[in-house]
Structure 1
Amino acid sequence: MTSSLYSNVQHVDFESVLGMDDPGMVSMFEALMASGLRGFLGCPAIVYEDALVDFFENASVRNGVVFSTVGGQIVEITEKLFAESFELPIEGLGDLSEMPKDAIFDARSIVSLSGEQINLSGRKNQMKMPYRLLCDIVAKAISVKAGSFNAITVEKFSLMTAVVCGVKMNWAKFLFGVLKKMVAAKTKQAKGFAIQISLLLATFPAVELGEASAFPASKILSKKTVLRFVSINDRDGAEEITGAAKKKAVSKKRNCC
């Protein structure tokens, strides 16, 4: 597989995760569904790698529409096609700068592990485990950012707030905006949406897609992979706390000598 298209991606098997014996995780995934993202995050996990490579090599944005050439055929992806394909909400906030400050205020306490409001320039281990996973989902599958996924950013937290507090989002506009950034020549937006773009390309009968591949199971959130996420994050959190305690102890020792 082309690593740049899959390196930081998450998809959701909603049937599997909603059957977990973990009320907190189930509640978080139910909130994702209620926000209108099930069709986008849980669509059939099939990819056409050759077609994806073609798509990104030839894609551009003209008059707000994404154009590309795949297998010699022109494809045109509009916001309307994008919205309809994944049954995305088309009403609500289209810009994260419009996120209500009181909702962000409330979310900072709701997701907090300690009960105190989390620091928006801190790390995700300040959060309860379901929201650490949500932080990963918004970073990898929604905003599609490269870099550290442990750091909290204002953008990521605004997206989390929309889900946690039930703020209506025009997900069609927001996610299509991310797609446009992916194909714009002068942006540093990471490439993603491999599954979603594959399904969009499949709607064009004349396009030769090449061989279909199943998406890697390790990148699909199911009971098994969510439990693995919890195990890894529990261990990493314990190691970070231990490391911080040792650093503090060394600092005190140096100060008293």
Structure 2
Amino acid sequence: MASSLFSNAQHVDFDSVLAMDDLGMVSMFEALETSGLRGFLGCPAVVYEDALVDFFENASVRNGVVFSTVGGQIVKISEELFAESFELPVEGLGDLSEMPKDAIFDARSIVSMTGEQINLSGRKNQMKMPYRLLCDIVAKAISVKAGSFNAITVEKFSLMTAVGCGVKMNWAKYFFGILKMMVAAKTKQAKGFAIQICLLLATFPAVDLGEASAFPASKILSKKTVLRFVSINDRDGAEEITGAAKKKDVSKKRTAADIEAVLLFTEAYFLRLPAVDSFDGHKSGSAGLLL
């Protein structure tokens, strides 16, 4: 079903989120906008489910161009068309491996809840709330990765660094590379870009797109859904901290009990020993163990 192609997707209503009272959140969304991602993340949220299924079933890559057949019509999507359709930057880093190490180093402290550098193999609850949401956005809407959205990875954090630290990215090249991986044979790349692909298909007049449907409102970041995200993550974070504290208390109690058991065992052991000569040549007193 087409719905599986956007089950973990995320889109942004920039007008709504930029009007929020939360300055941290507003700054994060402004950074996305400044990075040149508004046209991609905030384009009209309409999907054509039948056309989307057709596209992925018939898509392939030839000579660096994505070809597919939708409703019996051939469509050809190039990197240039991709860039123009979403007004994406075409200059800057095209590969995350080129991300400056000093930018990543600085970002690890900038996003941290404590100010100390976060662990890049840890969980996103190490980060301030706006960056937790940014972590979700880069995972669901940019790199389109399946798996745990609570885990931080080097790839996710490199994308967050590009946005948060203003590192120039050739987003057209990056996104088109992801699209090519989505349609490649035997790929491990998750399927996504549902809204964007539908918008691209709409540029071909001969293609019958079928019936349009609205993208699920729960997957569009607006003031309402962002506040819900904050509420859920606040609660989950508190539960995790409480759980850790309880676990620590139990651990301490067990340690105390273990120490007491060792002392009792030691006392019993020595009471079993026969009397021995003391250093002054006298027998020490002995006592039997009551069994």
Q: What TM-score does the superposition give when structure 1 sets the normalisation length?
A: 0.97
Q: Within 1, Cα distance between the matches of 2:248 and 2:176?
A: 46
In the other structure, the counterpart of 1:188 is 188
For residues 35-74 of structure 1, what are the alpha-carbon distances to aligned partners after superposition, in whole Å with 9 as ceiling and x for unaligned? 0000000000011000000000111111111110000011
> Cα deviations across residues 120-157 of structure 1 (Å, max 9, x unaligned)?
01100000000000000000000000110000000000
Q: Aligned residue for 1:70?
A: 70
RMSD between aligned alpha carbons? 0.8
Distance 1:252 1:203 in 2: 65
Cα separation, 1, equivalents of 2:212 and 2:170: 31
Alignment match, 1:2: 2
Report the Cα distance in structure 2 between the residues aligned to 1:86 and 1:215, rounded to whole angstroms: 18
Deviations 1:93-114 (A, max 9, x none): 0000000000001111111111
The residue that corresponds to 2:86 in the other structure is 86
Asked whether the equivalents of residues 144 and 192 of structure 2 are also in contact (C-alpha less than 8 Å), the reply is yes
What corresponds to 1:197 in structure 2? 197
Matched position secondary structure for 1:43? coil
Question: Would you say the 8 A contact 2:104–2:158 is kept in 1?
Answer: yes
Provide the rounded CA distance (Å) in 2 between the counterparts of 1:54 and 1:3. 13
Query: Partner of 1:92: helix, strand, or coil?
Result: coil
2:53 aligned counterpart, secondary structure: helix
Structure 2 length as normaliser, TM-score? 0.86
Partner-residue secondary structure (3-state), 2:40: helix
Which ranges in structure 1 are unaligned for 5 or more consecutive residues? none
**d(CA) in 2 for partners of 1:170, 1:38:** 14
Q: CA deviation at 1:251?
A: 2.0
Alignment partners' CA distance in 2, 1:15 and 1:3: 26
1:91-106 correspondence to structure 2 within 5 Å? 91-106=91-106
User: Aligned with 1:147: secondary structure?
Assistant: coil
Q: Secondary structure at the match of 1:190?
A: coil
Shift of 1:253: 2.2
Question: Match for residue 110 of structure 2?
Answer: 110
The CA deviation at 1:7 is 1.0
Task: Please give the alpha-carbon distance, in whole angstroms, between the structure 2 residues aligned to 1:147 and 1:76.
Answer: 30
CA distance in 1, matches of 2:52, 2:72: 13
Q: Distance in 2 between matches of 1:164 and 1:110?
A: 9
Give SS of 1:69's match. strand
Structure 2 unaligned residues grouped into runs of 5+: 255-291
Query: Residue 243 of structure 1: CA displacement?
Result: 1.1
2:271 alignment partner in structure 1: none
How many residues are treated as equivalent by the alignment? 254
Question: Following TM superposition, by how much is the alpha carbon of 1:240 offset from its aligned partner in structure 2, in angstroms?
Answer: 0.8
Is contact 2:2-2:52 (8 Å) kept?
Answer: no
Deviations along 1:214-238, whole A, 9 cap, x unmatched?
A: 1111100000000000000000001
Q: Give the structure, 1 or 2, with the largest relative contact order (CA under 8 Å, sep 6 or more).
A: 1
